[in-house]
Amino acid sequence: MIFRKIQIGIGIILLMTMSVGLIIFLISLPDSDATVQDQISIRGDNEFKSVALEEEWLGSGSKETPYIIMGLNLSAPSGKLIDIQHTRVYFRVEGNILTNGSYGLYLLNVSNVEVKANSIQGASENGIFFSQVNEGLITHNSVSNTRKVGIWIENSPNCNLSKNTVVHTGQDAISVHLKSNNCIIQSNTVNYSGHYGIYTTESKGTIIQLNAVYESAYAGIEVGRSSYYTITNNSIIRNQYAHSIAISDSPYSKITFNRIEGFGTQGITVRYSPHSLVKQNNVSNDIYGLGLSFSHNVTIIENQFVGNNFGIYLESHSNNCTIIANTISQSIIGGITLLNTNDCVIYQNLVVHSVQLGLFLELSSNNTIYRNNFISNNPTETLGTSQGLDRTNLGLKNNISFNYWNDWTEPDLDFDNIVDTPYLLSGDSINSDLFPCVIPILYYNPTRNLE
């Protein structure tokens, strides 16, 4: 069904004189600048066929020759500009200009759809809305100035959202929810979203990769109540108030190869997400490079954290985690911090030029810290004279050995490359590195600059 609305201009003015005075009648007729404004509403395959015939759309609705809704310029103050529900025919929505309305494109319970190269702007609700759409493709669209969400996906598994540009949304730029499993969100550009750049919940197996997210008001990428997610090779720049990447209640997730430049917020946040992997990310200028809480058995490997308040921060029973081969430099407060966290392994990390501590342990026990390099941390001796501090309860111990501390390299009278006296950490636990190394530890990654 096609709803046509005509923009009416001023036509003829009639003057009538009556005994009670002068009455002016305004009669409206189309003027030369009148524009036709359409809305498309389709329910079911039969109506799709009849509308396609009436509008002379290309295609037959088959897989080989899908219907093509192309080249329309639709605008309305409210309502759904293109509204298609309960269909199984194949179709493509391509190269249209959709302005204002409540929704630019609204699809419910459809299959076999591609949404490609449309310009959608000014929707008072969402630019693109998918519900119960299986294997939908949304690509190369421009969505801007929506009051709420740019692209909303729910109950729509196996969808592909790629190479879209979404800017100036009142809420999220891209929002994927409610069993929208195994979706791919890739190569999108997201700027100036009012809430989240990319926000997903209650789904499984989705891949978020190669996206550029700039200046979201809240999180750049946030995943909640999901599992088996992969967040990789994204760039998240200058998010204003919350996290650049955050996962919560999302076990078995992978956060890898992302570049994050902060705005004094939080780089990577992992909460209630055990058995996850954080690998080869580059995070700079945030409060926390990585903040981990209530998440056990997480592997943190080969990341670079530069200029954050805290480089790596584990708290709240984030036990049995492995922290290996990370570079943490120029932290304002702490390089590696463990608070109320036990049974972790911290191995072959480089912690350098922290303003305060390189290593901070509090209410944490049975952690193993060995073969790390701690260089030029706590230069002003703000928190004691050591580069590390251990405030574990008396009677509990952390196992600290065979680390290199650049302020403790002699004596070595037996030439075994182990300093003859232990390196004492600050703090009331009276803990020490019993076998401090004379020379820096060599890593399997020789490109890292130890000084």
pLDDT digits (tens, 9 = 90+) for 195-250: 999 999 999 999 999 999 999 888 899 999 999 999 999 999 987 677 899 999 99
What's the confidence (pLDDT) of residue 265?
77
Task: For residue 74, list its beta bridge partners.
Answer: 98
Calpha distance 189→291 (Å, rounded): 26
Calpha distance 86→177 (Å, rounded): 20
What's the confidence (pLDDT) of residue 396?
80
Bridge pairing between strands 277-279 and 137-139: unpaired
Structure-block tokens of residue 108: 């419910």
9-23, 141-155, 182-196: lowest mean pLDDT where?
9-23
**What residue segments make up the domains of the chain, in order of their start?**
287-451
Share of the chain above pLDDT 70, in %: 89
Residue 295: pLDDT over 70: yes
Amino acid at 389: L
Calpha distance 297→274 (Å, rounded): 6
Residue 14: pLDDT over 90: no
Q: Smallest Cα–Cα separation from 292: which of 309, 306, 310, 280?
A: 310
pTM, two decimal places: 0.90
Structure-block tokens of residue 32: 């030369």
Task: Give the tens place of pLDDT for each residue, 296-319.
Answer: 999 999 999 999 999 999 999 999
